[in-house]
Amino acid sequence: MSIQIHKNKCISCGKCRNVCPGNLVYADSEEKAYVKYPRDCWGCTACLKECPVSAIRFYLAEDIGGKGGFLYTSQDKKEYLTWHIINKFGKEETIKINRKESNKY
């Protein structure tokens, strides 16, 4: 699994840098985020959940059906987070989560 940050979408908010538990995300000279140590990323997806502009992609490993498949998120009025899952054939599925209820079991 690996993370890719799209520089052209990044608005330099710094949220991904603040939440990465491994301090793997840095800012370049334009304050755009990038993953400095991609091999150390363990795919917690904290950065994806914070990015307000869908600039971060999380590529799925082959052994869980990835091989070109990836995830990203979009946000809706701060309450809802939508996961977009694009499979290796380009087909998209979405899962919408109410953030306030996401930790209820």
Question: Is residue 3 at the binding interface for ligand SF4, with CB under 6 A as the rule?
Answer: yes
Contact 26, 34 (CB under 8 A): yes
Query: How would you label 69-90 residue by residue, b for 16+ Cβ within 10 Å and e otherwise?
Result: bbbbbebeeeeebebebbeeee
Q: Is 105 in the site for ligand SF4 (CB under 6 A)?
A: no
9-68 residues in contact with ligand SF4 (CB under 6 A) are 10-16, 19-20, 22, 24-25, 33, 35, 41-47, 50-51, 53, 55-56
Residues 83 to 102 in contact with ligand SF4, rule: CB under 6 A = none
CA distances from 102 to 5, 16, 28, 97 (A): 25, 20, 33, 7
Q: Which residues bind ligand SF4 (CB under 6 A)?
A: 3, 5, 10-16, 19-20, 22, 24-25, 33, 35, 41-47, 50-51, 53, 55-56
